[in-house]
Structure 1
Amino acid sequence: MNSIIKSISALEILDSRGNPTVRTYVTLEDGTKSVASVPSGASTGQNEAIELRDNEKRYNGTGVQNAVNNVNTEIANALIGKNASDQKLIDYTMIELDGTDNKSRLGANAILGVSMAVAKAAAESANLPLYSYLGGTNAVRIPVPCMNILNGGEHADNSVDFQEFMLVPHGAPTFKEGLRYVAETFHTLKGILKNKGMATSVGDEGGFAPNCSSNEEAIELIIEAIQKANYKPGIDLSIAIDSAANSFSPNLDGNYDLSWSGLGKMKTVDLLEKSAEWIEKYPIILWEDPVSEGDWDGYVDFTKRFGNKIEVVGDDNFVTNTKYIKKGIELGACNSALIKLNQIGTVTESIEAVRMCREAGWRYFLSHRSGETEDTFLADFAVAMDGGHLKTGSACRGERIAKYNRLLEIEHELKGRSEYRWK
């Protein structure tokens, strides 16, 4: 098949929060067509690749017409005639064309849309599912879904400091059953909240967003739901937490303000003591961003203390960038890195971040963003990367369910070849 790029174009669409984002179309010489849509985050690290926004009156400044124009002109002109099957060449051509360290000139949203659409087109042209094209014939491991069940922080307007409380069905035999475990528990939690007179509205990622009296109450509610759904905490289902500690560290250092939930102001050492209580008391299996991105010593101390018990994930401090992941590996700052395609801006660089984690013996945790689209690229990418776990939202909101349904399709396609395991 002729996988030479014939045309590239983009348009402005809306994400799950009603904000503009970029959708990109690629056509190859053999007639293959693909489309990809770019997500957007709310809780972001300072060193993430930059989304290009118009900063004009329309859409309150969040429009992406300049990014779309960059795809339609500079990027298209640079890539038309190149082979879509050479993903690294495609991505590094755009990186060099942009010429900045953070993709701020052309926009990471412009670059990523093209990167994803080219990968999809190349896979289609090769008559391969995307997960096989990116991961090879041995890409058969379906990730354990870490489902957001209760929201706080930047993802909800409530009194919970921490951003995400997730259910992890590591005790299920298959992805299909794991998804059932968490979906049933999600609906059980809704009933519990309703009976207690608490809000059953949801946050950006579909998790419930009640006003809890404390972060501990949030965990207790989830454990109650697990048990009421007839599952065993710590055996069938465990809990993962994303503190998103940047949101309660005003200076992104070792000082924290959790006054919202009544814990008050804390130093890193106090936060670690509280974490120790919870890890001892509750079935916590993973903890993401337990301290702020500038608190590298805090990450090191947290990992030394708890890294042999749980997965300690860096997100805002690493931003899917090998420069910062390398620093984390050298310091022993975590034992896992979150991988978000739009944090770094290309498929190739995301794969390089995964490779660095593998070589260091670290885990890596594939993730969506709070502003998502119905694009299912992430589901295939998670299978291709063989990471073992994924977070892509709750058991509601179509842009989240689309990824889960795609994983069900992949598991079905693989038939008896698929694998499902936490580690």
Structure 2
Amino acid sequence: MFLRPKARWVLDSRGNPTVEVDIDGFKGIAPAGASKGKHEARELRDGGKAFHGLGVSKAIDRFNQTMFPLPIFDNQANFDLFLEQKMAFLGANSTTAASIAFARWKAGEQKTGIVRYFTSIAHANGAPKALPSIPTPVANVINGGAHAGNRLSFQEFVIIPEASSLSEKIQIISEVYRELRKVLLKKFGRSAINVGDEGGFAPNLSNNRAPLELIMGAAEELGYSKKVKLGIDFAASQYYDEKKRKYVLAGKSMPAEKLLGYYLRLAKEFPIVYFEDPFFEEDFNSFALMKMRLPESLIVGDDLLCTSAGRVAKAVENGSCNTLLLKVNQAGTLSSALRAFAAARKAGWKVCVSHRSGETEDVFISDFAVGIGAELIKLGAPARGERTAKYNQLLRIAEASK
């Protein structure tokens, strides 16, 4: 018997092509990021004029010529190893989609259910045994940086609800988001309620403190000031000048030590518990200093780690983080991503499974985050269909698990 995988192009949420792989009716779609770490697995794009150079015809042709037909692999690890050996030729967009599609196909063959299947392959990749669990959503409600057209340096301002059930957490997110819309509309006019790539509002602000004040004002209006914590994805590599080895915020140049002081002042003034990529993606030492100064906070590595087991090991050695941001397409296969997950778990870290700014209707990450027992999941705002699809899938899983 043989597998009959087929690749095709579909659109992501930015209207760009991406790769979908279909294995006997079981599909997987690769997302795409706007702000990318330099150590991410590389997509294969066409270049040229079509789709402004972002076409994926080359990736699809290579996949269909190389991968059809295929012998039936006995497990996810062997299939993913086959993909990893060909990733440079196929592109990580093809291998990511294929790895997800194979997981769905294999779970169907085994009749285990996709969530339980993800639990089993996490264990197979060396993660300490854990049961599936419902993660807390991390909601991006104001966009900046590479995800918006405003002048905010920081890329995402997020809220993390505190409640006993998923449904209550999502209710808090939804109500704060709607209240924030009212606040922005009243204060800045209709242009302030335009949304960015991930559904968060993109008001024309330049002061990085202002979004924190606005979000907490909306939460307080609803009586949620004690139930809402804040987080920031700084994406600091975007405002780091490598030649000068300085960070440039609001036209001011500063070294890492001064930037850390600024972050610490924000942490004293606002209930910020989540700090993602606060420094340049090679600056393990500054991450470590921040972790020492804020031992109770989540110091999250995204561009720093790129869902790489090797970079997680380096961060553990340097004491740089305590939370892995896990994006499967950064690694290129499920197995590669799960090796990073296992390394993080063995170090006692928390894990946040994450969407990308270029998403699709695929709800894979909701099933995956539950299956591996991640504490957190970044889904964007409770707006735009490609984001709400994932919230809705979490609600279905939570209901079924009662």
Alignment TM class, shorter chain as reference: over 0.9
1:298 corresponds in structure 2 to 286
2:124 corresponds in structure 1 to none
Q: Work out the CA distance in 2 between the residues paired with 1:110 and 1:250.
A: 33
Indicate conservation of the 8 Å contact 1:253/1:292, yes or no: no
Residue 253 of structure 1: how far off its partner (Å): 7.9
Residue 372 of structure 1: how far off its partner (Å): 0.4
TM norm structure 2? 0.94
Indicate yes or no: 2:349 matched with 1:359.
no
Note closer, same or farther for the CA distance 1:395–1:273 as it changes in structure 2 (3 Å cut): same
Indicate conservation of the 8 Å contact 1:131/1:139, yes or no: no
1:376 to 346, 355, 363: 363
TM norm structure 1? 0.90
Indicate yes or no: 2:211 matched with 1:218.
yes
2:195 corresponds in structure 1 to 202
2:80 corresponds in structure 1 to 91
Of 338-347 and 210-219, more deviation after overlay is shown by 210-219
Q: Deviations over 1:347-370 (max 9, x none)?
A: 111111111101011112110100
Residue 43 of structure 1: how far off its partner (Å): 0.3
1:129 to 110, 113, 122: 113
Residue 335 of structure 1: how far off its partner (Å): 1.1
Q: Deviations over 1:3-42 (max 9, x none)?
A: x653100101110001110011001xxxxx2011110000
**Runs of 4 or more above 4 Å deviation:** none
Indicate yes or no: 2:5 matched with 1:15.
no
1:248 corresponds in structure 2 to 239
After superposition, where does 1:17-96 map in structure 2 within 5 Å?
Answer: 17-27=14-24, 33-77=25-69, 80-83=70-73, 86-96=75-85
Residue 134 of structure 1: how far off its partner (Å): 1.2
1:115 corresponds in structure 2 to 99
Indicate conservation of the 8 Å contact 2:155/2:234, yes or no: yes
Q: Work out the CA distance in 1 between the residues paired with 2:224 and 2:117.
A: 37
Of 149-158 and 210-219, more deviation after overlay is shown by 210-219
Q: Work out the CA distance in 1 between the residues paired with 2:96 and 2:199.
A: 25
Indicate conservation of the 8 Å contact 2:27/2:104, yes or no: yes
Q: Which one-letter code corresponds to 1:376 in the other structure?
A: V
Q: Which one-letter code corresponds to 2:213 in the other structure?
A: E
Question: Matched residue of 1:35: which SS?
Answer: strand
2:377 to 370, 382, 390: 390
After superposition, where does 1:339-350 map in structure 2 within 5 Å?
Answer: 339-350=326-337
Gaps of at least 5 residues in structure 1 are 28-32, 416-423
2:273 corresponds in structure 1 to 285
Indicate yes or no: 2:181 matched with 1:190.
yes
Q: Deviations over 1:111-166 (max 9, x none)?
A: 11110000011112222321111115964311100000000000001121100011
Q: Work out the CA distance in 2 between the residues paired with 1:253 and 1:118.
A: 46
Indicate yes or no: 2:261 matched with 1:276.
no
Q: Which one-letter code corresponds to 1:36 in the other structure?
A: G
Residue 254 of structure 1: how far off its partner (Å): 4.4
1:267 corresponds in structure 2 to 255
Gaps of at least 5 residues in structure 2 are 121-128
Question: Matched residue of 2:381: which SS?
Answer: coil
Note closer, same or farther for the CA distance 1:150–1:91 as it changes in structure 2 (3 Å cut): same
Q: Work out the CA distance in 2 between the residues paired with 1:121 and 1:328.
A: 35
Q: Work out the CA distance in 2 between the residues paired with 1:329 and 1:272.
A: 20
Indicate conservation of the 8 Å contact 2:137/2:170, yes or no: yes
Q: Work out the CA distance in 1 between the residues paired with 2:249 and 2:113.
A: 46
Q: Which one-letter code corresponds to 2:112 in the other structure?
A: L
1:229 to 222, 235, 247: 222
Indicate conservation of the 8 Å contact 1:15/1:371, yes or no: yes
Q: Work out the CA distance in 2 between the residues paired with 1:26 and 1:140.
A: 26
Q: Work out the CA distance in 1 between the residues paired with 2:184 and 2:320.
A: 37
Indicate conservation of the 8 Å contact 1:120/1:130, yes or no: yes
Question: Matched residue of 1:365: which SS?
Answer: strand
Q: Which one-letter code corresponds to 2:375 in the other structure?
A: G
Q: Which one-letter code corresponds to 1:178 in the other structure?
A: K
Question: Matched residue of 1:196: which SS?
Answer: helix
Indicate conservation of the 8 Å contact 1:75/1:94, yes or no: no
Q: Work out the CA distance in 2 between the residues paired with 1:56 and 1:26.
A: 30
1:419 corresponds in structure 2 to none
Q: Which one-letter code corresponds to 2:254 in the other structure?
A: M
Indicate conservation of the 8 Å contact 2:352/2:377, yes or no: yes
Indicate yes or no: 2:398 matched with 1:414.
no
Indicate conservation of the 8 Å contact 1:12/1:21, yes or no: yes
Indicate conservation of the 8 Å contact 2:139/2:378, yes or no: yes
Note closer, same or farther for the CA distance 1:313–1:391 as it changes in structure 2 (3 Å cut): same
Q: Work out the CA distance in 1 between the residues paired with 2:315 and 2:344.
A: 10
Indicate conservation of the 8 Å contact 2:219/2:228, yes or no: yes
Q: Which one-letter code corresponds to 2:16 in the other structure?
A: N
Residue 213 of structure 1: how far off its partner (Å): 4.3
Q: Work out the CA distance in 2 between the residues paired with 1:252 and 1:129.
A: 51
Identity %: 36
2:135 corresponds in structure 1 to 143
1:319 to 300, 306, 313: 306
Q: Which one-letter code corresponds to 1:165 in the other structure?
A: F
1:257 corresponds in structure 2 to 248
Indicate conservation of the 8 Å contact 2:150/2:206, yes or no: no
Root-mean-square deviation (CA, aligned residues, Å) is: 1.5
Q: Deviations over 1:277-330 (max 9, x none)?
A: 011111011100000102222112111211x12010011011001111111110
Indicate conservation of the 8 Å contact 1:254/1:291, yes or no: no
Note closer, same or farther for the CA distance 1:330–1:57 as it changes in structure 2 (3 Å cut): same
Indicate conservation of the 8 Å contact 1:71/1:114, yes or no: no
Q: Which one-letter code corresponds to 2:174 in the other structure?
A: A
